[in-house]
Amino acid sequence: MSKVHNFCAGPCLLPDEVYRGAAEAVIDFNGSGLSILSISHRSKEFIAVLEEAQHLALSLFGLEGKGYSALFLQGGASMEFLRVPYNLMKTKAGYVDTGNWSSKAIAQAQAFGEVNVLASSKDRKYAYIPEGIVIPRGLDYVHYTSNNTIYGTQYRDVPQADCPIVCDMSSDIYSRVYDCDKIDLIYAGAQKNIGPAGLSVVLVRDSILGKSGRVLPQMMDYAEHIDKGSLYHTANVFAIYTSLLNLRWLDRLGGVEAIEKINNQKATTLYRAIDDLDYVVGLADVDYRSKMNVTFDFKEEQMKGIFDTMCAEANITNIKGHRVAGGYRASLYNALTQESVDALVGVLHEMKSKI
């Protein structure tokens, strides 16, 4: 069977060896004769899995031994939109609006106090990242989204403020070297660069917790989950194990430094084609282009049908843009290969002969 080039924005590709390892564990986990789906989440075998996953989640970002805890929770990033203000907001927080997901986070936070929208790029359909933001003093925290999955923009630097910094890193976590120790709480839905959908990963500086002044439901309390080692309730055993396999793969590859070089090459290849071909247009401002989610469209409507047909013939799938943005979107997450990017670029160039 010929290779399928899957540019899905999430759930995303994982490395082939991760699929194989997860499949084997479903039948027989580590020679135990038991399926990973059937072992106890409190067994010594799974505790070892969880502890190694927590270790890698921190060490790959250089955060181990710096006062951070790693949590594997349920509900995806959307649950963290709620947990963050529950745990951190006393009266007022600052949010930067750079897309649909940051807008959803803002909506959740407004139930807990005053939300100061520090800046927004909505005025130009989220095609850029606001700069020169004046962040007032006295905020409980500042929240931003490092990569805009839908519109294809990405932060280069961490905002600076006199309060904790919170980052939704769902779609570019573990994809590049970043000043993570300047961020006090990182959260991400696992289904981009970590593992299966439905799981969230939270990396939090312990010292920022317990200061909201409110009584928290235990299920929503980061400190409670830390105290229980991500086992406050039944853990998502299979998703955590699959995530561990993926984190191991990244670690063996050489970590974030190594995958960043690979991701840079993939993004450069595709953006070069978009810029060189006069019938293709990039949708994000050049200075803020994402290396994970490349958004583009065609100058002539009739070319979309040609492109769609050629993609189907080349086994290129999940290339359509998000329903709110239109156009096309190629997601270049860690496990996507250069071969797939080359296949897409080949189609874009071959369209010349069809015009």
Q: What gap in Å lies between CA 341 and CA 300, rounded to an integer? A: 23
> Would you give the end-to-end CA distance of the chain in angstroms?
30
Instruction: Tell the burial category of 3 from Cβ atoms under 10 Å away from its Cβ (0-12, 13-18, 19+).
Output: exposed
- Residue 263 identity (one-letter amino acid): N
- What kind and span of H or E run contains 93? strand 92-97
- What kind and span of H or E run contains 348? helix 338-350
Q: Is 101 a catalytic residue?
A: yes
Q: What gap in Å lies between CA 206 and CA 216, rounded to an integer? A: 16
Q: Is 291 a catalytic residue?
A: no
Q: Is 304 a catalytic residue?
A: no
Q: What gap in Å lies between CA 290 and CA 295, rounded to an integer? A: 9
Q: Which of 97, 172, 192, 291 is catalytic?
A: 192
Q: What is the residue whose two structure tokens read 């190594």?
A: 258
Cis peptide leading into 164, omega within 30 of 0? no
Longest dimension (CA), the chain: 65
Record the tokens describing residue 269, joined without a space: 């290849």
Q: Which of 140, 168, 221, 297 is catalytic?
A: 168
So which residues are the catalytic ones? 101, 168, 192
